[in-house]
């Protein structure tokens, strides 16, 4: 039995389910083919997998989970994906069950926005945007980070963001693994539509369609963030760092 189960509530979610299933070691279900109610089917299957991708509305997922969840340390994680593939929401067991990591993985597969609400994630204010040459290793990326921001503390970094052209860059993956950071991928089109940069590179524009990669990636991945470290280049690695704004909720 695979670790991940994919459960589209309705047949209209099948296309998304198949796309995700093709990229993961997972088991995909088609509940509309069974005569039992969809809710009963999910309840019977829930503990068969360590993690779930639930394709449907948050409200439906909550109703399906009502009465079957027990403890955050043992409950399988649930990531909810809407049928329009706009959001990848870590709903249950974000840390203990790996739901947060799965939400980022799914977001990168379907080009969705990952939604993470656990405090340990939201209290990390920094996002690193990275652009790099092909074949760059993890150590060089790390050195580039410290050159750009000598006092950088990776415990304050929430995630790393880059362009889809670097999705399979092994050095970048190794860097993220070393520092336990999720990698968020943005499409060329998404970056091109947000020309947030302080400097321009005609070479980067020719390759990617955008004058800069690291700065817009850092800002796009942030939460109402501002650039605290503009583009810095070191040995073929471009680094930019954005920090979430401190927003007060005292008047709510």
Residue 65 is inside which H or E element, if any? helix 58-65
Every domain of the chain with CATH number 3.40.50.11220 lies at 4-119
Band (165; pLDDT cuts 50, 70, 90): very high
Residue 163 is inside which H or E element, if any? strand 157-163
pLDDT of residue 250: 44
CATH class (in words) of the domain with range 124-244: alpha beta
What is the pTM (predicted TM-score) of this model?
0.83
Joined together, the tokens standing for residue 92 give 């249950």
pLDDT of residue 225: 87
- Architecture of the domain defined by 4-119: 3-Layer(aba) Sandwich (3.40)
Band (198; pLDDT cuts 50, 70, 90): confident
Residues 210 and 192: beta-carbon distance below 8 Å:
yes
Listed residue (243, 217, 223) closest to 125, CA to CA: 243
Q: Give exposure, 207-233, as e/b (b: 16+ Cβ within 10 Å).
A: ebebbbbbbbbbbbbbeebebebbbbb
Average pLDDT, rounded, for the chain: 92
Give the distance from CA 198 to its chain's centroid: 25
User: Measured between alpha carbons, how far is 124 from 77 in angstroms, rounded to an integer?
Assistant: 22
Task: Name the DSSP class of 69.
Answer: -
């Amino acid at each position: 039995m695979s670790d991940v189960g994919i459960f589209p509530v309705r047949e209209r979610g099948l296309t998304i389910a198949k796309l995700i299933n093709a990229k993961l070691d997972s088991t995909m279900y088609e509940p509309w083919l069974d005569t039992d109610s969809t809710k009963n089917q999910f309840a019977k299957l829930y503990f068969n997998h360590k993690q779930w991708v639930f394709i449907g509305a948050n409200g439906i997922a909550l109703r399906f989970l009502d009465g079957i969840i027990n403890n955050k340390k043992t409950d399988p994680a649930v990531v909810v994906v809407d049928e329009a593939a706009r959001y990848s929401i870590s709903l249950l067991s974000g840390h203990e069950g790996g739901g947060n990591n799965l939400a980022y993985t799914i977001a990168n597969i379907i080009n969705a926005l990952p939604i993470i609400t656990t405090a340990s994630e939201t209290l990390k204010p920094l996002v690193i945007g990275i652009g790099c040459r092909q074949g760059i290793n993890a150590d060089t990326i790390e050195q580039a980070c410290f050159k750009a921001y000598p006092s950088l503390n990776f415990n304050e970094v929430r995630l790393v963001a880059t362009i889809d052209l670097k999705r399979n860059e092994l050095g970048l993956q190794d860097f993220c693994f070393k520092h336990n950071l999720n990698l968020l991928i943005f499409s060329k089109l998404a970056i091109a539509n947000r020309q947030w940069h302080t400097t321009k590179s005609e070479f980067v524009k020719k390759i990617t369609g955008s004058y800069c990669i690291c700065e817009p990636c850092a800002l796009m991945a942030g939460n109402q963030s501002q650039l605290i470290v503009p583009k810095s280049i070191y040995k073929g690695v471009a680094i930019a760092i954005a920090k979430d704004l401190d927003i007060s909720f005292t008047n709510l």
